[in-house]
Amino acid sequence: MSRSARPLTSARVLHKIKELTTPASDVKYVTNRNPRNLERLRIAYKPSGYHLEKPGRSYWHTLEINTSGRYVNADVKHFENGTILSASTSEWAIKQQLFKTNDTSAFVNLGQVLAQRCLHAGITEMTCNVEAVAGSKLEKLLQAVEANGISFKEPSRLPNTQPWDAYRHEKPWEVSEQSETSVTQNKQK
Amino acid sequence: MSFSNLLMKTGANGGLRSSQTAALALLNVSARQGHTLRGKPPGVARTLEQRLRDENVIDPEVTARINIGFPQLKPSRSAQLKERLEHLKAQRSSKELEQLARSNKLVIDLEKVQQAYVQTTGQHDLRLLADHYGIFEHLFGSAYFVPRVPLTIRYELDANTSSPVYNGNVIKPVEALKAPVVSFDGQLDPITGKTATEGDSYWTLLLTNPDAHYTNGEAECLHWFISNIPNGKLNEGEVLAEYLPPFPPKGVGYQRMVFVLYKQTARLDLSAHKVDDKDHVNLEKRNFSTLQFYRQHQDKLTPAGLAFYQSNWDESLTAFYHNVLQLKEPVFEYDFLKPYLADQKFFPLKQAFNLYMDKHRDIKQVNKEYLQRKLAQTHPFDGPEPALRFPNAHPIRDVPSWLRTEIRKRRLGTGRVQDY
């Protein structure tokens, strides 16, 4: 009886999956343990299954802003690790230079501080589902964050291209900056 | 008629629901055209979040972590508050500041913010961020510490430009060729946070890369090791391993480079960890395990400072591998999950037979055919045939339809042709 005539059993499927997922013994493998590496290379898993919710949870990093009667807090959240980075006008470091902790200039300055902290932490892209009224101080905060080098567009996951697919996607790790000048320009004096 | 149908359906779904609730549900639920709910209805069934949480239960006893760092003696809150309130009061009564704030021209000094942040809550936040980057997990196992001594690290590129190391920013290998300038307050008492005036303090600085090892995934690569740094004067310290720049191979992605500063109780003899000058580029000699090192010396060393950056491949590394490390440059490729293919059938219906066969054939044979076809069209001296300007304008005659599609795909450069 040939293979095709036999009914497919779950054991056979499991065996095939195991075969696919075990690395070949003759190939040299290395593992990069950096948990943020695959996110930077756009390969990492993004949560799925929340598409019925609005705005959904398909992100690696997202920006959350909470305003209270007196202060404003901005948090960067990771889908697994929760809050990883935060800035608030209730912090002494920021508050000591402000006139009021919840006026427009406080919002704008908080945006600048948050952007600086994100850049220091190597987080340059995140989603932002904050709905700001046009012209409000919240919108000015978001604009300040974007003006200081943070992008609110997180790249999508890189689809796993198969040989028979029509198109190939550009792989982020094969793109490199050729000129050294562009690297050094951004560095602070 | 349709009404009674609906009644029957909701009755079947709800099971033991009373007729009253069924009628209520009737008002809300629109007609499900032939569909029935699979599983429990929303609101009754657990959400995806709940189910994932139940599946990935973490035992707090097993994952308990130990703080190996310095404790902190907090300054008197009332004295601090008094000082701060006075300052804020002065701020609120300042006319110029009010004018600036009301006209939205108030720009705060970011450098001053950073300085105050590092002194107050910054080091706690750094601990969170280091956890996010898996630093403690991969360096110290289940231990962690709150950095108490702020580190200032800069890679100097030329007289005016430098790349500072913060916590996770990207620095390219070309910028990190020379040893960085590290400064910290060597007289600082990590517990009280005040500068001690008497007695010498000794420090150890380590730069390791937990992602660099090619043979042992658990090991780290030691990049820099200076011990017995008296009072923060780095150049007077004992260099046990000379600085080696980061060398992340092509295709591996971003590697972490972690600076850890330890405070010593006294002068220590750590020469057992010395990497000789002749072994400067011997990567086997630079194998290191922070956890083992710490276990060995934990009575005399306490981690006090932390900074890290990420680095990935750039063009300068090819020369570095060839000239300095004397190695062939390794190139890696991410191993994507291979597709699951159903068992091959005798008669695969509704599929193009050539594409179906290509999926199941030996990939080496497929590669060979594509390569041979490409080489047959390449002149040894003139190179490949020039691409057609209007590829779809040239008629393809007298060939079966599958071959016509193949030729068209080849001309347009879609599908497998792109790989060769």
Q: Could you tell me if residue A32 is inside a domain?
A: no
Residue A38 near chain B (CB below 8 Å): yes
End-to-end CA distance of chain A: give it in Å, rounded. Answer: 75
Q: Give residue-wise pLDDT tens across range A79-134.
A: 999 999 999 999 999 999 999 999 999 999 999 999 999 999 999 999 999 999 99
Would you place residue B154 in the very low, low, confident or very high pLDDT band (cuts 50, 70, 90)? very high
What's the ipTM?
A: 0.89
* A141 within a domain of the structure (yes/no): yes
A37:B418 CB<8 A: no
Residue A170 touches chain B, beta carbons under 8 Å: no
The answer to whether the CB atoms of B312 and A167 lie below 8 A apart is no
- Structure confidence by residue, pLDDT tens digits, B207-245: 999 998 777 778 899 999 999 999 989 999 999 999 999
pLDDT at residue B20 greater than cutoff 60:
no
- pLDDT averaged over every residue in chain A: 88
In the predicted model, is pLDDT for residue B50 greater than 80?
A: yes
Cα B68 from chain centroid (whole Å): 24
Whether A86 and chain B come into contact, CB under 8 Å, resolves to: yes
Tell me which of B67 and B37 has the higher pLDDT. B67
Whether A29 maps to a domain, the answer reads: no
**CB atoms A85 and B345 under 8 Å:** no
Across the interface, whether the CB atoms of B419 and A163 are under 8 A apart is answered yes
Q: Residue B18's pLDDT is what?
A: 45
DSSP B32-91: -SS----SSPBTTBPPHHHHHHHHT---TTTT--EE-S----PPPHHHHHHHHHHHHHHH
User: Is A80 domain-assigned?
Assistant: yes
Residues of A in contact with B174 (CB under 8 A): 180, 183
**pLDDT tens for each residue of B358-399:** 999 999 999 999 999 999 999 999 998 888 899 989 999 999
Residue A81: which CATH number?
A: 3.30.420.80
Residue corresponding to tokens 């209520």? B24
- What pLDDT sits at residue A177? 66
Write down the pLDDT at residue A178. Answer: 57
Q: Which member of A36, A160, A184 has the closest CB to residue B133?
A: A36
Question: What is the count of structural domains for chain A?
Answer: 1
pLDDT at position B212 is 83
pLDDT of residue B298: 92
Residue A110 counted as domain residue: yes
Q: Do A164 and B163 touch (CB under 8 A)?
A: no
pTM over 0.90: no
Domain range list for chain B: 2-55, 116-324, 353-419
| Superfamily covering domain B116-324 | PEBP-like (3.90.280.10)
Domain of residue A137 covers 56-147
CA triple A6-A12-A18, angle to 5 deg: 155
